[in-house]
Every structure is written in C-alpha cells, then in structure tokens.
Chains A and B, each alone.
Chain A
Amino acid sequence: MLKKYALLLGAVLALAWSSTYASPEDDRMAFENYFTTKFPGVPLNDFKNGIYSVDPVARADWEQIEEFPPYELAVDAGEAEYNKPFANGKSYSDCFGDGAVRGQYPYWDGERKEVITLELAINECRTSNGEKPLKWNKGKIAELSAYMSYISRGQTVDVKIPEDDPEALAAYERGKQFYYTKRGQLNFSCFDCHGTGAGKGVRLEKLSPALGHATHWPVYRSKWGAIGTLHRRFGGCNRQVRAKNFKSQGQEYRELEYFLTYMSNGQEFNGPGARR
C-alpha cells in the first residue's frame, strides 16, 4: 500500500515538475534560495568558501592553513610555466594575455557547439602552438590553472547561456540532469550529498553545499597531497558512489561544469583553494 502510494506520488510529482518550464535564471535563483534558507546564518557571498562557509570548526583550521597556503608552490610553478616560451617562440600570453581570465570560463562556443573550460583552453593553446597536450587531472595543467585562477581572484562568476542558441540551453539542461540523477551502486546524485545532505556529517566530515562549489578550483587537497582540477574531483565523487567515472574534459563533465558554475553566478572566483 505504502509502496504504491510512494510510486504514485513520485509520478505525480514528476509530472507536475516537468509541466512547468524553468529558465536557467529561475533555476539559479531557486538554487541560491535553497541554500540561503538552509543556512540562514551564512552571508550569500561566503558560499564561495565551500564547506568552510557552514562548518565553523573546520573553518578555524582552514584559516590557519591559509596563512601558509599549500597551493603556493603550485601557483609559483604555474607562473614559471606560463611565462616559458613554446618551441615556436610564442607562449601562453599569446592565447590568454596577462592570464587573468578565470572569469571568462566556462563558456559556450556557438561555432563549435560545445562548452569550453579553462583547462580545455590551456591544452588547445598548447596544441595550436605545436606542443603536446598535458594530462587533465593534475600536475602542470593544475599548476597553470592555479596560477591563472590566483591572478583572477575577485572576478565575478558570470556564466552565460546565449538565448539565441538553443543548443547552449540543451547543454545546460544536460548538465543539470546529470547533477540531479542518481547513479552508481550506492544510488547517489550530486545533489543528494551536496544539497539534501549539505552541512550534515558523514562520519565526522561535513558535506559541502553546492552553491559556490565551482568557484575555488583547482584545489590543493591534503588527501591527494597535491593540486588537482575540478574534473579530477568529479571523477572521484562518481567513483565514491560506485559509478563508473566519465572522462575528464569529456562532454559530460564539461556540461556539468557549465551547469554547476552557472548556479554560482554572482559568487566570486577565489581559487586556488585548500581542502582536507
């Protein structure tokens, strides 16, 4: 009886939800509202600090860590790499100018019909100058991204979904569907942990809220003992719920980044970050 009722309720809910159209901006405002309601004491502009916006105990540790940030070496290495000329005499500055471009990514490329992320652009800058592409998850690409994020700190997240291009909206919608879809043997969606479960503990670790999730990458994670990219973390999250992870910088994760970063429009880019 209860089973049937729950199933019926689910079907009715699904119907009601899908019958009204929500624009990305409707989505974003409801998303923001979800978290500001859930964490009424947290100022809106503090969500960029991820878990530390909602966990005062962990925040005290983190503020201490930030006095000698573990990502500093990566930023320095990234700066050196950024200024090193390619074999053809050109350099990253021919692609990115002064490099303070974090706020321009991710964006929808209307000609290529795909989402372009900062890391993708870094590797395309290399290959178009005859250099080999870097590996996606860690090492040099994360260092370059860390440097470029560092000098871009304070830029506002302002992801655009061009209204004149239905394919951009479709990419956003795919990223959104990915975000809310349960997957893996453990049957978790991204939102199950970072929405429903945000601020609550898994053992002693509290789960970070999704608002502001995309602002502070790449991240030096103590667990990794190194700096890594957002897509590395996506893959790790998917494997933790016992789902097969997707390729870093593949279509799925780029569209996921497009959606997730859009949800943080109005927050500040403050990468690179330090996390446990």
Chain B
Amino acid sequence: MIKKTLMVLSLAIAMTLGSFGGGIALADEEAVNQGKSVAFNRQKGNCLSCHMMDDGDQPGTQGPPLVAMKLRFPDRENLRSRIYNPLEFNPNTIMPPFGLHNILSDEEIDAIVEYLYTL
C-alpha cells in the first residue's frame, strides 16, 4: 500500500517536472511531426504543390518559399489566420481557405503552425 502510494507520488512528481521541461518539448515534437505530414500530404495540406519548404521534393512556385516563418510571422494567431482563411487578407488570393472550407481540421491547422515555426 505504501509502496503503491510512493509510486503514484513519484510518478506525479515526474509528470509535474516533465511538464516544465522535457514534457512540452515532447508534445511539441509530436505536433511538429503531425504538422509536417499534414503539410506534405497531397490529400491534406498539399502545401508543397505551391510552396518550397523544408526538405520537400518537387515544390511548386505559386506561393512564396516558407522560410524564417517565426521571424516573418511573429504573431502566431496571425499566421494561423493566413492558413485558416487567407481571403481575410486578400480576397483575390489563390491560396485555399483551409479552415473556412473545412479542407483541414482546426487541430491539423494548429499542427501546421507548430511545424511552420520550425522553418
């Protein structure tokens, strides 16, 4: 009984510590990986069809290269909106409104933002 309590306690401590340090990094990495796979998938984001990014093969040239994203879009919410509904910024843009038209889910867009911030 005491042993069990101790174990639970130490687990709780480990988790608390983890959430301040390595835990977040781990969760982020997961989102980053998911974001990359959504971005590269032709049936999902298919970002590569128009944007040069990361180590993606055969990128298109319709849109600007996706580099230095954190520097260029320091406001996370702003970057997210540009994916969710780019028509807000330019009603004639040829970029699809990925959120407004439910091409991607909210979770998938969040993951892409997470991934873009690593570029």
Contacts and interface: CB of A to CB of B under 8 A. Distances in A.
A43 interface: no
Nearest to A189: B94
Contacts of B102: 185
- Interface range for A: 10 to 19
Interface in A1-59: 2-3, 6-7, 10
Interface string B82-104: 00000111111010110001110
Given A185-B103, A201-B60, A202-B50, A2 B96 contact: no
A203 B40 CA distance: 11
B58 A203 contact: yes
A200 B60 contact: yes
Given A3-B89, A6-B88, A197-B94, A203 B49 contact: yes
Nearest to A2: B89
B94 A192 contact: yes
Residues of B contacting A: mostly: loop
Contacts of A196: 92, 94
Contact of B62 (A2, A186, A202): A202
A70 to B, nearest CB: 25
B48 interface: yes
Contacts of B88: 2-3, 6-7
B65 interface: no
B58 A6 contact: no
Interface of A: 2-3, 6-7, 10, 185-188, 192-193, 196-197, 200-204
Top-10 shortest CB links A-B: A192-B94, A10-B91, A201-B61, A201-B60, A186-B96, A202-B60, A3-B88, A200-B61, A204-B58, A203-B58
